Amino acid sequence: MAKIGDTCTFCGRSRREVDLMINGISGAICNDCARQAYEIVKEQMKHQKSSFEMDRSELPKPEDIKAFLDQYIIGQDDAKRYLSVSVYNHYKRLLQEKTSDDVEIEKSNIIMVGTTGTGKTLMARTIAKLLHVPFAIVDATVLTQAGYVGEDIESILTRLLQAADYDVDAAERGIVFIDEIDKIARKGDNPSITRDVSGEGVQQGLLKLLEGSVVNVPPQGGRKHPEQKMIPVDTKNILFICGGAFDGIEKKIAQRLNTRVVGYAAAKDTAQVDKNNLLKYITPADLKSFGLIPEIIGRLPILTYLNPLDRTALRRILTEPKNSIIKQYVKLFAMDGIELSFDEDVFEFIVDKALEFKLGARGLRSIVEAIMMDAMFTMPTTGEKTLHVTLAYAKEQFEKADVNRLQVS
């Protein structure tokens, strides 16, 4: 009778017939059976992860989603409300039960318009922390029409598949944030003159994704070729959130508002327009004037805007959010055992420069980086344990830096 450990309990092969035998208390397993067991467990866990097990009682309400966004993002209440409702409705679509009334809830894709540095991408990244569905952020600037140099439209779904660990069922209930959507605007008023392969051509290709259809996706991204194995993905339940700066669209809005000026009453109404924030008056007609085709505008029914950041908002962004820029630098220095602190007037100086350079919240990080660069370079070596940044020190370090690269004309 063979001893325990001489043969594999699963396949019965002896120790001499296998490369490795792993002994247990009352049995043994060979390396081949262990490998097969690992694949079985992996496949089973993947199947379990595919099931959407959230109950309606666990569904985060729109106010809960907005409250979570408030911890990381200052202001932009209108955009937060629109985004919270869209995500909430997306969850409800996934959880809806089949009924006999034949009413099918359609998804409401959303488009956010706002100048650079107002928090469009940050809002999408932050909401990903709360979601229980796969989430991917893609950049529209690299997309071109099929057959041309660049990435195909389907590469958007490749990122989502990767986020879902190639679980197709999970990816088909995910959320995609398409950044820089304004960069694929039609370049000319007459599309028949030349082919706009990175503009209107991309918009035409996006239509089937936004509306909902089965799309063959290359698993590794890049260009498609006939012999490549494709993964079919149904986009019917994928929520698309688009964002873009739409630089210059204020001119389109102003022209539209001025066309309504007829008579004294119209002049009186026009005088009430907030000329410092024309984006609040944006309509789908302005997106069409900018260069988005009507078909794609119709598939992005929820249109919201982000307010430009004023001095008060920039000051709060600098220190208040959970992941504020100052808190990040304090933590960076603390990792080297250095206690970092600032005078209050240093924050005012940083905000003044950010307003001067017109880079929004991104400008804050560039300015703080310029001020802290010398200290980050030398202090890990010198062994100093404290650093207090005064206004004089901040001005001196900022002047030493090459600040001209931040200037926006």
pLDDT tens digits for range 325-342: 999 999 999 999 999 999
Is-contact 170 49, C-beta < 8 A? yes
User: Which own/partner pairs from 197-201 qualify as long-range (CB within 8 Å, at least 24 positions apart)?
Assistant: 197/144, 197/145, 197/148, 197/150, 198/143, 198/144, 198/145, 198/148, 198/150, 199/291, 200/291, 200/293, 201/144, 201/145, 201/148
Q: Residue 72: pLDDT above 80?
A: yes
Choice among 38-42, 51-55, 92-96, 279-283 with the minimum mean pLDDT: 51-55
Arithmetic mean of pLDDT, 190-201: 56
Q: What is the pLDDT of residue 222?
A: 58
Q: Residue 38: pLDDT above 70?
A: yes
Bridge-based pairing state of the strands 302-305 and 110-113: parallel
Instruction: Specify the residue for token string 């959010």.
Output: 321
Arithmetic mean of pLDDT, 382-397: 92
Using a pLDDT cut of 70, give the percent of the chain over it. 83
Q: How far is CA 276 from the centre of its chain?
A: 27
Q: What is the pLDDT of residues 106-135, one digit of tens each?
A: 888 999 998 877 888 888 888 877 877 888
Give the three-class secondary structure for 193.
coil
Q: What is the pLDDT of residue 46?
A: 57
Strand partners, 30: 21
Q: Residue 225: pLDDT above 70?
A: no
Q: Which two tokens stand for residue 304?
A: 């919201």
Q: What is the pLDDT of residue 303?
A: 92
Q: What is the pLDDT of residue 192?
A: 47
Q: What is the DSSP letter of 143?
A: B
Q: What is the pLDDT of residue 150?
A: 58
Q: What is the pLDDT of residue 339?
A: 94
Instruction: Specify the residue for token string 């206004």.
Output: 391
Q: What is the pLDDT of residue 193?
A: 45
Q: Residue 368: pLDDT above 60?
A: yes
Is-contact 217 229, C-beta < 8 A? no
Q: Residue 404: pLDDT above 60?
A: no
Strand partners, 240: 176
Q: What is the pLDDT of residue 58?
A: 73
Arithmetic mean of pLDDT, 91-106: 75
Using a pLDDT cut of 90, give the percent of the chain over it. 28
> Which has more confidence, 276 or 233?
233
Q: What is the pLDDT of residue 371?
A: 93
Q: What is the pLDDT of residue 51?
A: 42
Q: What is the pLDDT of residue 409?
A: 45
Choice among 38-52, 88-102, 294-308, 337-351 with the minimum mean pLDDT: 38-52
Q: What is the DSSP letter of 279?
A: G
Is-contact 199 257, C-beta < 8 A? no
Q: What is the DSSP letter of 6?
A: S
In whole angstroms, what is the distance from residue 169 CA to residue 51 CA? 8
In whole angstroms, what is the distance from residue 335 CA to residue 47 CA? 40
In whole angstroms, what is the distance from residue 329 CA to residue 223 CA? 41
Q: What is the pLDDT of residue 189?
A: 53
Q: What is the mean pLDDT of the chain?
A: 82
Q: Residue 285: pLDDT above 50?
A: yes
Widest pairwise Cα distance in the chain? 108
> Which has more confidence, 297 or 149?
297
Q: Given pLDDT bands bounded at 50, 70 and 90, which one contains residue 362?
A: confident
